[in-house]
Amino acid sequence: MTDAGAPSMPSTDPDSVPQGGFGLAGEPQAGKPYRVLARKYRPSSFDDLIGQDAVVRTVSNAFETGRIPQAWILTGVRGVGKTTTARILARALNYELPDGSVKGPTIHMPMLGVHCQAIMESRHMDVLEMDAASHTGVDDVRQINDSVRYAPASARYKVYIIDEVHMLSTAAFNAFLKTLEEPPEHAKFVFATTEIRKVPVTVLSRCQRFDLRRVDADVLMGHLANIAAKENVDAEPEALGIIARAAEGSVRDSLSLFDQAIAHAAGTVRADAVRQMLGLADRTRVIDLFDSLARGDIASAFREFREQYDTGADPIVVLSDLAEFVNFVTRVKIVPATADNVAFAETERLRARDFAAKLSMRVLSRMWQMLLKGIAEAQAATRPAAAAEMVLVRIAYVADMPTPDEAIRMIEQNGRGAAAAIAGNAAPRGAPAFPASSMQSSPARAASVPRSGAEASARSQMIAPVSDAQSAPAALKISSFPELVALAGEKRDLLTKAALEADVRLVRIEDGRLEVALERSASRMLINDLSRKLEQWTGRRWTVIVSNEAGQATLRSQNQVQKDQRERAAESDPRVQEVLARFPGAKVVEVRKLAPEPPESDASGEDLAESSDGDDQ
């Protein structure tokens, strides 16, 4: 606990007056030591606090109405401004001008008062700060209990600021309780902690609690831009966005990183230099890696990962950045406005919108789960790069595989074709086929064990291509647009399949020639990519033409129309109408075909309409 000398009057030297925060603005002057940005631009009033509007509003209302509590407790992650807010509170409680025009506590402090400079520099004798991490015992608290009875020497209130209060021992907390519950009128307490759960409930109940939230990345980015202008430092917006995201909501961390980036750049702060300083992978290359995985192109994903690794990227960081981008795409898919966050680069936001429109939630959630587990495995592996590559293989192989119930339903509905599709989905594009020698004994085992018709058909579909592996594959013939979409699904090219369903209107199709019309959302490279991929998939050249005709509706639109027709038919059913009448607000959300009942059953296998009211279905 510090007990400094008497307060000093504010200096009339203009260089000693804080500008834009507590400290000097602009370049350091000759003969004066350099002050880090986190101290130089430390807020000195409530107007300087960023990202804590709820706290400022509550304190403002309390001061204006005179409802000032005897104790506050401030909680939040490191660097969000807990100690700074405590000092601002102490300054507001004791704000006084030399002419005596201010008669009580106020949050409006347009200029330095009699006690402000000493309070902000932690040398005021009536504002006592104690670090509970180094003063944990009951004797330290007993000194506060003994001194709190005496009136302040010069200020309006005695203010006790205790940082990291959760570090106090149980006996010290118990010694505080009586004083904290009935303190003298001239005493105020401000506690700060990062571990609010470690503070006893008996202490919490005697304090007003304020949760200081993490500062949003876009707010931090604007704050850094203002400081860069005051410091006459050129910084790329993308570089500031990287620093803001790396700070994870901590203002102090963002300023420390910005200070480091200025020294590292020795000139303009560029995004590449910041990535190199932080050991981050290039976000554009991470997105390219994500694109390769979404297309099931393992060879391209391996090549991209190795290039990043050879340039010095940490495999763990690459996987973490990949998981962060998966999370970003998922959030954009759920809340499209997320892509408007300027803390992310424009390329990142545009490509995230594209991926969110084309990838299903099932694929994104599986990628996230495998990355989350894979990061832990790579951290524990003796060769992180090899472990990271195996994580990429796992994602490419499993991300679009059907769930067990989907696989069973596909086999039951489509028989041989579904089995072949499942077998095709098990290996991504570019993966080598199993050698024929590994399957030589399979027919014998298949003959010795009785199998169901569906299982035997599925097995024959998986074995047949292997037996002809040494012969050149025959050209694949496609005569309908649904067959083309199904082929993209079998090749595990999710982006192309989604584009065919949502962005392409069929005009006419024949083997080797496709004529389509495009939606406005279609990619500019879709036609070239589709022509090239069709040649790879079918073994023959294809001519893909964009027509001026309107063409048919997209498959997605057709499916939506069919779904709406089924729902309207279900809603017109008298039994469904009776259910909807009994449950106000309920609606039909899905219509499914029931499986046929056994012959002895009286069920008729009619359509089932599901209704929901909130979470009930």
The CATH number of whichever domain residue 502 belongs to comes to 3.30.300
d(CA 311, CA 378): 19
| Partner residues linked to 505 by β-bridges | 517
> Which of 479, 546, 480, 557 lies closest to 516, judged by CA?
546
> Lowest-confidence range among 147-151, 349-353, 438-442?
438-442
Domain total in the chain: 5
Which value, in Å, is the radius of gyration of the alpha carbons in the chain? Answer: 34
Share of the chain above pLDDT 70, in %: 77
Q: Which of 258, 278, 298 is the last residue of a domain?
A: 278
Statement to judge: residues 189 and 54 lie in one domain? yes
Question: Is residue 474 assigned to a domain?
Answer: no
Q: What is the dihedral of CA 464, 469, 473, 478, to 10 degrees?
A: 40
Question: Is residue 496 assigned to a domain?
Answer: yes
Q: Per-residue pLDDT for 556 more than 50?
A: yes
> Lowest-confidence range among 75-89, 356-370, 487-501?
487-501
pLDDT at 409: 66
Question: Is residue 441 assigned to a domain?
Answer: no
Residue 477 vs residues 469, 533, 540: alpha-carbon distances, Å: 19, 14, 9
Read off the pLDDT of each residue in 371-384 and give the average, rounded to a whole number: 90
Question: Is residue 544 assigned to a domain?
Answer: yes
Range of the domain at 287: 283-398
Statement to judge: residues 85 and 230 lie in one domain? no
Statement to judge: residues 66 and 182 lie in one domain? yes
pLDDT at 191: 92
pLDDT at 534: 83
Span 285-340, pLDDT tens digits = 888 888 888 888 888 888 888 888 887 778 888 898 899 899 989 998 888 888 87
Question: Is residue 292 assigned to a domain?
Answer: yes
> Which of 518, 253, 218, 454 lies closest to 345, judged by CA?
218
pLDDT at 25: 36
Span 429-488, pLDDT tens digits = 444 433 333 333 333 333 333 334 444 344 444 334 433 434 444 567 787 888 888 888
> Which of 316, 319, 293, 289 lies closest to 304, judged by CA?
289
Statement to judge: residues 95 and 204 lie in one domain? yes
